[in-house]
Amino acid sequence: MRATLVALKWGGYLPAGRQVASPTLCLNRAGILPDQPKQDASAIKQGEVTSKEGGKNLEKLKGYKIGEAVLRKIPKRKKMEYAFKEVKGKIILRRLKDIPLRKDCPFILITPSFKRCYYGVWNDLADSLLSYNLNIVISPFLGDEEIDELLREDFLHGIVLSGGNDIAPALYGGKKEDAHKPDLCRDNFEISLYRKAAKKGLPVLAVCRGLQVINIAHGGSLKSNLRTHKEDKRIDAHLLKIKNNSLFKKLSQVDFLRVGTSHHQAIERLGKDLISIAEANDGTIEMVEVKDYPLIATQFHPEKSEDGKIVFEVFKQMVYRKAKSSLTLPT
């Protein structure tokens, strides 16, 4: 049995999880629940868990900060095609013990993108993490109280801040016209999640946009409208030299990484307590650490290059070290 992907439903943490051999786009309907067909015993046995409640009226979303954000994102013609679980300020967390997951694998939470009323993560990122025996939990955007409730349970052993749209310029004093489809709701969620996770000592992997979120969380700034970094193809790959005395170099035992980068924003002013450990030839900061903290932040996508496997291996080391006291891990 390999590691498992679980998508958490909006507003209730009734995991819509399924055993996946090779996940496709790994989409979760963010609590937007169409009528669900009744499931037979075999489906439930395999981990096909859905909400027993058909959903609540859309009016239930009004008056809640997160709920209002959802309503704004759903096209009017779609609103009546879906029913929602009731959204409240406090998350009711259903323990994952009822789902057939590998209990000897750590749990990591991946932050998603919000597209066309769905939450999702890129399947190659999910596949890469699953291959390292890391159970994946995809979460909807949450407020501070919901994040506290989630982290209070102590079943998570790591956080992944995934790629996506630009960071809202309002967060770093940039120009509005410089950002491509910013999502302030996601920005605030990820910044808050990172800060709270850091207080608990959870290992963090931040990819592309995720690196930028880390920088903003530490008081740094970004530059936009970059034109020099090409789409991630082998012919456009560039070599990064890993700086000495970095935690990444200590754990990976490598001096160089060959990567490809595709992004619209990059670090301009490095945030407080952040350390640049690798830079592109044009000076773009490509990798960042925090002193004495298990964090890897990359401007490139490690799932899109052969050398990126080294990044996942180092993150796995960090996560398994964190999880060692709470899991019966395979030797």
Which is more confidently placed, 89 or 266? Answer: 266
What superfamily does domain 5-31+91-323 belong to in CATH? Class I glutamine amidotransferase (GATase) domain (3.40.50.880)
Q: For residue 198, name the pLDDT band (cuts at 50, 70, 90).
A: very high
Residue 291 has pLDDT above 60, yes or no: yes
Euclidean distance between CA atoms 3 and 23, whole angstroms: 11
pLDDT by residue (tens digit) across 260-281?
A: 766 578 999 999 999 999 998 8
* pLDDT at site 221: 93
DSSP string, 127-178: HHHHTTT-EEEE-----HHHHHHHHHT----EEEE---SPPPGGGTT--GGG
Euclidean distance between CA atoms 67 and 50, whole angstroms: 20
Mean pLDDT of 150-165: 87
Instruction: Return the minimum-mean-pLDDT range out of 8-12, 23-27, 37-41, 276-280.
Output: 23-27
Q: For residue 58, name the pLDDT band (cuts at 50, 70, 90).
A: very low
Euclidean distance between CA atoms 15 and 150, whole angstroms: 13
Residue ranges per structural domain of the chain? 5-31+91-323
Q: What residues act catalytically? A: 208, 301, 303
